[in-house]
């Protein structure tokens, strides 16, 4: 017995006995059941669904490769592109978990979470935060990692599971591209502080510097005042008394007047901060060095960059709890102000912080998961990363608010009034905490080195995910063979785009990008449509079954229910809520953006959001055929789970014929559930004893 593998008209014509493209009556020869037309004749090749270019038929003769004509034509191309299609993998399972922890646990936990919590009423923020965590964050994390692991492709191509919504992948890549522009600026600020820490005393310790003004509160000068005077006023460096509410800490002035040199508004661009230009350049060099050798090297680097920060945070927490007033800060942190829960911005900030922190909605998790082996237990990975990420955010919040309580005690103000809310909160509170420790320069170097590591491991995972998405989406460009040049191009282009964020007015652009481009409504929009594509496009039951086959167990009903109902309802609900109660952007408490700034923010938000409807319209009009045929193409999956093929038996003896499994139709892809009009399918059944006896006589 021999096997034909027939996949094209040319192949059919070249097989003896198969005629010109019409299958012979194989029911007698092979036991196959053939779908036939109304006239009872066997279906011709044109009328059959060709799946992955191969239909395998058991019969007499020789064995032919599927699509021989195409194979002969492309053989040389395949040899040249062998390296292109070869994908790397993680060194081991723990490397992937550490990479996900390094990716998810970053500056979003120690920088963004505390300032959003501070902005939204302390403990009140924790209520929508944990609701969003359970309803959106963990289910989305599991869905994206398992999707990448199933399909073994990047964050754009994987959405061919439902081509009509492939724009979801393009939107996610757009968000990742904008995130690359502004996120690394935070790493540059950390590098600036890192080098500034090699001085004693630390430059933000006193008010006797060129950048300080009369509102700087020098702690040592206050000892010259009586207790009564100290409760109402503070002594300035020029000897005058000012009201306590006007005071600013040395760390706050160092941040605003030395590091940023903040201009009076967005329209006042000012000059480029050349010191920050050097810091951004160094950050990109470090990012490139971490990823240019591939994910196996990346998986080893994150062992260090992901674990060391926990040790430093623990030391800072112990020190913070020993400071006077720290308990006031912790009470503000854990006590909810329930009036805040009626404000839409609290819910929007909580949901987007979850998406931002877990890194969902930007395609990177899909790309990272695509390097996993097919049988990897990504459910376990999801639980580990979810718990570690949430715990890290809460842990970092304890450190921040303990220090804020101390700063409020020193300045004799309420915790909510101690510093301006904004992304610089971490660059004010943390330096203040470090300055109170013995051997402050040493701890400052250690702390800002930690911030650099936290920022870079998230940054290079985003860049790696973005690059993987592009390389897998357009394989004909052979970008994987030219990976180094491609990564250099990304780093250089983003470096020049970073210059918009490091001028004297750059902090206003940075704040717009943080509020509009890579968080807020774009992430909510993309997350909702991701769930729709999987649940109602590809099919939640189908996807859940694929995951069960991959994991060899069913993770539970909560996950498909979340993808079908909970996550899209929460995502789209908060999205609509934010539109209805929309408020213009602000920087800090006092600066309101002009209309031009608000319009720029909306352009940043709409840039990724438009990909979803735009691509659907493009696909419809670029697809030939009737309306029904076009819709069929738009809703028929093009990628499928990459189930590994089991190796043949290791012994040299071939099994006897009666031990061979008789598979009469073997396709490497799924057959469409609803074939287009005029197409018919071939089905196969397992050979029985009568069939085998028939083969023996033949």
Q: Report which of 4, 16, 20, 19 is spatially closest to residue 54, judged by C-alpha positions.
A: 4
Burial of 359 (0-12, 13-18, 19+ CB in 10 A): buried
Pair of tokens at residue 479: 């970008």
Residues 483, 489: Cα–Cα separation, whole Å:
10
For residue 201, cis peptide bond before it (omega within 30 degrees of 0): yes
Scan for tokens 């509410």, then name that residue. Answer: 245
Annotated binding-site residue? 109:
yes
Q: What are the DSSP calls for 19-79, one per residue?
A: TTTB---HHHHH--EE-B-TT-PBPBGGGB--STT-EEEEESS----TTHHHHHHHHHHHH
- Number of helical (H) and strand (E) elements in the chain, helices listed first: 30, 8
Q: Is 457 annotated as a binding residue?
A: yes
Instruction: Identify which of 333, 399, 328, 349 has the alpha carbon closest to the alpha carbon of residue 123.
Output: 333
Choose among 480, 487, 529, 514: nearest CA to 360.
529
Q: Which residue has the tokens 């004749």?
A: 41
Alpha-carbon span 663 to 661, nearest angstrom: 6
Separation of alpha carbons 29 and 76, rounded Å: 36
Both tokens assigned to 65: 């490769």
Q: Is 454 marked as a binding-site residue? A: yes
Q: Is 389 part of any known ligand binding site?
A: yes
Contact, 567 vs 535, CB < 8 A?
no
- Length of the chain in residues, anyone? 698
Token reading at 627: 């309306």
- Asked if 655 contacts 649 with a C-beta cutoff of 8 angstroms, the reply is yes
Q: Is 458 annotated as a binding residue?
A: yes
Does 357 show up as a binding residue in the annotation?
A: yes
> What burial class does residue 175 get, using C-beta atoms within 10 Å of its C-beta: 0-12 exposed, 13-18 middle, 19+ buried?
buried
SS3 313: helix
Does 17 show up as a binding residue in the annotation? no
Cβ(290)–Cβ(184) under 8 Å? no
- What distance in Å separates the CA atoms of residue 632 and residue 84, rounded to the nearest whole number? 31
Q: Consult the annotation and say whether 102 binds a ligand.
A: yes
Kindly compute the dihedral angle of the four CA atoms of residues 690, 692, 694, 695, in this order, to the nearest 10 degrees: 170
Distance CA 32, CA 320 (A): 75
Annotated binding residues for Na(+), as ranges?
102, 104-105, 109, 357, 389, 454, 457-458
Annotated binding residues, as ranges?
102, 104-105, 109, 357, 389, 454, 457-458
């Amino acid at each position: 017995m021999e096997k034909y593998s027939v996949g094209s008209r040319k192949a059919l014509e070249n097989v003896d006995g198969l005629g010109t493209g019409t299958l012979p009556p194989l029911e007698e020869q092979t036991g196959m059941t053939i779908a036939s037309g109304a006239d009872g004749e066997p279906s011709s090749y044109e009328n059959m669904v060709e799946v992955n270019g191969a239909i395998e038929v058991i019969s007499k003769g020789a064995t032919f490769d599927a699509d021989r004509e195409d194979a002969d034509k492309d053989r040389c191309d395949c040899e040249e592109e062998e390296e292109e299609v070869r994908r790397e993998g993680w060194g081991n399972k723990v490397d992937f978990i550490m990479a996900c922890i390094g990716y998810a646990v970053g500056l979003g936990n120690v920088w963004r979470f505390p300032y959003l919590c501070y902005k939204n009423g302390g403990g009140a923020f924790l209520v929508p935060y944990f609701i969003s965590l359970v309803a959106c964050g963990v289910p989305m994390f599991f869905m994206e990692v398992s999707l990448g692991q199933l399909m073994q492709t990047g964050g754009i191509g994987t959405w061919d599971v439902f081509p009509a919504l492939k724009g979801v992948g393009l939107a996610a890549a757009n968000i990742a591209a904008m995130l690359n522009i502004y996120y690394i600026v935070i790493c540059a600020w950390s590098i600036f502080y890192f080098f500034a820490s090699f001085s004693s005393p630390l430059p933000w310790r006193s008010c006797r510097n060129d950048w300080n003004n009369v509102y700087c509160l020098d702690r040592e000068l206050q000892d010259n005042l009586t207790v009564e005077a100290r409760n109402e006023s503070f002594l300035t460096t020029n000897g005058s008394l000012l009201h306590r509410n006007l005071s600013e800490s040395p760390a706050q002035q160092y941040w605003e007047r030395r590091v940023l040199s903040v201009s009076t508004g967005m329209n006042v661009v000012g000059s480029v901060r050349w010191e920050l230009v050097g810091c951004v350049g160094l950050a990109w060099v470090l990012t490139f060095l971490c990823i240019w050798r591939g994910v196996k090297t990346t998986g080893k680097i994150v062992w260090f960059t992901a674990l060391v920060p926990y040790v430093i945070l623990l030391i800072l927490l112990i020190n913070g709890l020993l400071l006077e007033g720290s308990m006031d800060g912790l009470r503000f942190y854990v006590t909810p102000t329930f009036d805040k829960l009626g404000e839409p911005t609290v819910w929007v900030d909580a949901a987007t912080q979850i998406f931002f922190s877990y890194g969902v909605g930007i395609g990177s998790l899909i790309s990272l998961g695509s390097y996993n082996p097919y049988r990897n237990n990504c459910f376990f990975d999801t639980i580990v990363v979810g718990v570690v990420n949430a715990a890290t955010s809460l842990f970092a919040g304890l450190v921040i608010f303990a220090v804020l309580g101390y700063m409020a005690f020193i300045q004799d103000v309420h915790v909510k009034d101690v510093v301006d809310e904004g992304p610089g909160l971490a660059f004010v509170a943390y330096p203040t905490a470090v300055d109170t420790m013995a051997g402050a320069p040493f701890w400052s170097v250690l702390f800002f080195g930690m911030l650099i590591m936290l920022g870079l491991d998230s940054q290079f995972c985003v860049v790696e995910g973005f690059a993987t998405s592009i390389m897998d989406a357009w394989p004909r460009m052979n970008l994987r063979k030219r990976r180094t040049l491609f990564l250099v191009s990304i780093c250089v282009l983003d470096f020049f785009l970073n210059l918009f964020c490091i001028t004297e007015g750059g902090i206003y652009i940075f704040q717009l990008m943080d509020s509009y481009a890579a968080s807020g409504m774009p992430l909510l929009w993309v997350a909702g449509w991701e769930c729709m594509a999987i649940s109602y496009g590809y099919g939640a039951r189908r996807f859940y079954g694929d995951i069960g086959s991959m994991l060899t167990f069913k993770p539970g009903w909560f996950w498909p229910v979340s993808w079908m109902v909970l996550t899209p309802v929460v995502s789209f609900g908060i999205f609509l809520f934010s539109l209805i109660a929309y408020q213009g952007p602000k920087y800090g408490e006092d600066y309101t953006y002009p209309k031009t700034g608000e319009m720029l923010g909306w352009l940043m938000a709409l840039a990724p959001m438009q990909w979803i409807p735009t691509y659907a319209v493009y696909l419809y009009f670029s697809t030939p055929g009737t309306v029904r045929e076009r819709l069929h193409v738009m809703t028929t999956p093009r990628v499928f789970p990459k189930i590994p093929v089991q190796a043949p038996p290791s012994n040299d003896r071939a099994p006897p014929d009666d031990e061979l499994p008789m598979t009469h139709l073997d396709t490497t892809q799924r057959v469409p559930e609803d074939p287009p009009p005029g197409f018919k399918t071939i089905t196969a059944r397992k050979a029985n004893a009568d069939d085998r006896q028939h083969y023996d006589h033949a």
